[in-house]
Amino acid sequence: MTRLKIVTSALAVVWYCSLAFAAPQHSFTTRGHDFLLDGKPFQIVSGEMHYARVPRQYWRDRLKKARAMGLNAITTYVFWNLHEPRPGVYDFSGQLDVAEFIREAQQEGLYVLLRPGPYVCSEWDLGGLPAWLLANPQMVLRSRDPKFLEPARRWLKRLGEELAALQITRGGPILAVQVENEYGSFDSDHEYMAAIRDAIKDAGLGEALLYTADGAEELPNGTLPDLPAVVNFGPGEAKEAFAALAKFRPNQPLMSGEYWAGWFDHWGREHHATDAAQQEKELEWMLAQGYSVSLYMFHGGTTFGFMNGANLDKTYHPDTTSYDYDAALDESGRPTAKYFAFREIIARHRKGEALPAVPKTPAAISFPAVELKESAPLEHLLDLCVVLQSDVPRPMEQYGQSYGYILYRTKIAAATRGELRLKDLRDYAMVLVNGGSVGTLDRRLGQEAINVDLAANATVDILVENTGRVNFGKGLREERAGISGVTLNGDELRGWTVYPLPMTDLKQLRFASGAASGPAFYRGTFEVAQPGDTFLDTRQLGKGVAWVNGHMLGRFWKIGPQQTLYVPGAWLRRGKNEVVVFDLEGVAGKEVQGLGRPILDQVRAEQ
């Protein structure tokens, strides 16, 4: 290193240190019914937005729009599964630089409410818990089981290394940190909640105000006596929910930790368009009472990749890729009519304080239909896999895989006709005999068996897609993806070759002109004169996932209601761009195109 570089580096260190020591120290506490910021009453008007659901290049734009709507804070979850993809391996880079997201919020004049879980729900796979936890069959998630608590503590400790310096007490924007998430809807183990509270404190995140969040009826189950509680509810429930909170905690501030100003969608079900007028009326009422509120969601964005969750009541319902949520900012960050109505309401309660101008949003672009002329059969990817041998099929987590697809292959020696039954299907399977599909099985529809007619020495493939682990309720404890056994006419089949297919690296696929048979990858190119946001029309496709320029957009499924995938303009380039799809129902001649608007509300009858 030259002397000039040494001097320059030293000056930089001095400058950064001086900033750190000069950072103003603040406090955020409670007194009676008030939150106090530096000793003065402070009404939180926040909105939820998740850094992982918004391309990093657009964080600043969305935060500016939050400030322009009148918000004084941003609420965000932290997704454990993204940051610790394998035990002890952490990632806080690029899109996952949550500390930078929080710094940018502060630069835009916003405080932050941090929700680190370790469980976060959020229509996210397994509620944000890493799937590798499920590799241990005895693991009991969200409990005092040491096999769960030890990695949870380790995770929170590592998160504290990233975010502790950003607390309000150290000059950062983090006002408050939530302990767990709606635990009262899951169980009532207060010792578990105390263990998570202590883990957050041990991680150095206890200088901010700690709090819990639950539904009105679940407050007794999920709270801790030493922490303030907030209440979560939907439109039409504000007065009753706040009354319940006031009765439960008569001498603390009243806040809605989640006011559900929208809702999410499931595959095969109708798109949700919520009652904006009702939400406007309730927001006006809450602010007039002096209550604090966090809008869930202010901006939903997109659950890119394989990260969508699912619900489980009597049946299984996976969530769509779009997390538009009928929010104030739509999926692509465009202000809606709801945005401007909320802005007007909030402005009336800012006592004459002028709001910043709403940033302009460039128009979305379109591009003409692109024929997916090149293909690569799934077999090409199998050739690149780490091949495993297994006496009986096991869930993908036991093979070290968390997301995507997994293929189980066996040979049938003697000709056989009868019922092929899958055990614990999670979640969608295509059954192939000698490379040709003989049908599919769908967990949503309760399907577990299919009739087959097998010749001697037939090769049977079972290609399973994890379409999203359950993220709410105790069912998440059993969400091991793949299958755990196969029988043919009641006899267990043994001797399997297993191909994990996480779909994380497609660079070595060998594409060729023409169509491929069965599940396959298809590729096409399109030209863009000026990059901008667009929406990939998937209505000609069947079921699968799509990438643009190597960025995984998410899942498509012809049953809808989502029929387009959001393509951020930041992921496009001038000139030639590449689109790749993996379609279980590969057919020659399919096309995609870029639309100037999304299609999120077209449900098709299932065949």
Instruction: Determine how many CB atoms are found less than 10 A away from the CB of residue 607.
Output: 5
3-state secondary structure 313-341: CCCEEEECCECCCCCCECCCCCECHHHHH
| Triad 214, 281, 223: Cα angle to 5° | 10
189's enclosing H/E stretch is none
Torsion-angle region of 126 (φ positive above 0: left; ψ -120 to 50: alpha; else: beta): left
Kindly state the tokens that stand for 67: 């400030």
The active-site residue, picked from 258, 282, 465, 479, is 258
Instruction: Determine how many CB atoms are found less than 10 A away from the CB of residue 434.
Output: 12
Contact criterion met (CB below 8 Å) for 327 and 577: no
- Using CA atoms, how far apart are residues 168 and 28, in angstroms rounded to an integer? 7
DSSP characters over 15-73: HHHHHHHHSPP--EEEETTEEEETTEE---EEEEE-GGGS-GGGHHHHHHHHHHTT-SE
Contact criterion met (CB below 8 Å) for 152 and 192: no
- Using CA atoms, how far apart are residues 3 and 6, in angstroms rounded to an integer? 5
Sole residue written with tokens 């689109």: 579
Task: List all residues 6 or more positions away from 21 whose beta carbon is below 8 Å from its beta carbon.
Answer: none
DSSP state of 184: G
* Residue 82 CA: distances (Å) to CA of 135, 214, 304: 17, 25, 12
Measured N-to-C along each axis, helices 98-107 and 59-68 cross at an angle, to the nearest 10 degrees, of: 40
90 Cα distance to chain centroid: 18
Residue type, 377: P
Kindly state the tokens that stand for 559: 């049953």
Contact criterion met (CB below 8 Å) for 582 and 567: no
- The number of CA neighbours under 13 Å toward the Cβ of 78 is 30
The strands making up 496-501's β-sheet, listed across from edge to edge, are: 388-390, 496-501, 405-412, 458-465, 428-433, 436-442
Kindly state the tokens that stand for 39: 């000793």
User: Measuring CA to CA, which residue among 540, 529, 524 is closest to residue 578?
Assistant: 524
The active-site residue, picked from 104, 108, 182, 397, is 182
Contact criterion met (CB below 8 Å) for 200 and 177: yes
Q: Please indicate whether residue 585 is annotated as part of the active site.
A: no
Instruction: Tell me whether residue 190 is exposed, middle or buried, using C-beta atoms within 10 angstroms of its C-beta: 0 to 12, 13 to 18, 19 or more.
Output: middle
Q: Please indicate whether residue 258 is annotated as part of the active site.
A: yes
CA 201, 204, 205, 206 dihedral sign is positive
Contact criterion met (CB below 8 Å) for 56 and 326: no
The answer to whether the peptide bond before residue 297 is cis (omega within 30 degrees of 0) is yes
User: Mind telling me the catalytic residues?
Assistant: 182, 258
